[in-house]
A and B are shown apart, each in its own frame.
Chain A
Amino acid sequence: QSVLTQPPSASGTPGQRVTISCSGSSSNIGSKTVSWYQQLPGKAPKLLIYSNNQRPSGVPDRFSGSKSGTSASLAISGLQSEDEAAYYCAAWDDSMNGWVFGGGTKVTVL
């Protein structure tokens, strides 16, 4: 059971917009910044979004992040086949006194 809650799966057709939620509490998302990671099959995680909504250089602007209260979201617009991967949210948790991740959401491009 992950401290941050994500839906296990999401899907869309090419070109569609897909949104992934990450639900937490006041001890993590509610008071700390959120980052998002993309993990392609068999690969290491890759930073996608940091500080709730900032994209590192090289990450397409199709990916965007937002945060409201104790929840965060990752949106993928103009879905492409290469976006098929697992996506994880992460934040510091004051109660756990450590970094916590969501359980991951597997995105399938139909």
Chain B
Amino acid sequence: QVQLQESGPGLVKPSETLSLTCAVSGYSISSGYYWGWFRQPPGKGLDWIGSMYHSGITYYTPSLNSRVTVSVDTSKNQFSLKLNSVTAADTAMYYCARHSYSGTFDIWGQGTMVTVSS
């Protein structure tokens, strides 16, 4: 079955860049679907960060557009998130997920907690 697994540092210093990777197994990213990143601050709700179509086309939430990049490495069947100039407000559980054009987020990773602190 299709599985997604996030990985990356659990602690990032303020003003530095948060970098996460989502490894996909059981499905080739190149075959289709959109691949997205989401986050959930402690005790709060879900927020969409950005998504990438399998062709490499990306789109981001306007509030983070200037700081975020989503990219793909088809050779490793994984996609990545980079969020620069982080602050404490970026502390959250980060999830990757597969989704359709209509926004059916059908497969989620287990999530990875990222804390921004010096």
Mask, B37-77, CB within 8 Å of A = 1, is 00000000111100100000001111000000000000000
User: Is A103 in contact with B45, judged by CB distance below 8 angstroms?
Assistant: yes
CA distance A46 to B111 in the complex (A): 12
User: Is A99 in contact with B103, judged by CB distance below 8 angstroms?
Assistant: yes
Within 8 A of B (CB), among A32-46: 32-33, 35, 37, 39, 43-46
Size of A's binding interface in residues, CB under 8 A: 27
Known: A44-B95, A45-B95. A100 touches B48 (CB 8 A): yes
Size of B's binding interface in residues, CB under 8 A: 21
Q: Does A15 contact B (CB under 8 A)?
A: no
CA distance A44 to B107 in the complex (A): 10
User: Is B61 in contact with A98, judged by CB distance below 8 angstroms?
Assistant: yes
Query: Which residues of B line the A interface, CB within 8 A?
Result: 36, 45-48, 51, 59-62, 95, 97, 102-106, 108-111
Known: A44-B95, A44-B111. A101 touches B106 (CB 8 A): no
Which of B36, B60, B104, B108 is A35 in contact with, Cβ under 8 Å? B104
Known: A44-B95, A91-B103. A99 touches B108 (CB 8 A): no
Beyond contacts A45-B95, A100-B48: 11 other A-B pairs, Cβ-Cβ < 8 A, are A35-B104, A39-B46, A45-B97, A47-B106, A50-B102, A50-B106, A51-B104, A88-B45, A90-B46, A97-B59, A104-B46
Is chain A's interface secondary structure helix, strand, loop, or mixed overall?
strand
Query: Which residues of A line the B interface, CB within 8 A?
Result: 2, 32-33, 35, 37, 39, 43-47, 50-51, 56, 88, 90-92, 96-104
| Nearest-Cβ distance from residue B106 to partner chain A, whole angstroms | 5
| Nearest-Cβ distance from residue B38 to partner chain A, whole angstroms | 8
User: Is A37 in contact with B61, judged by CB distance below 8 angstroms?
Assistant: no
User: Is B45 in contact with A102, judged by CB distance below 8 angstroms?
Assistant: yes
Most central of B45, B60, B97 by chain A CB within 10 Å = B45
CA distance A85 to B5 in the complex (A): 22
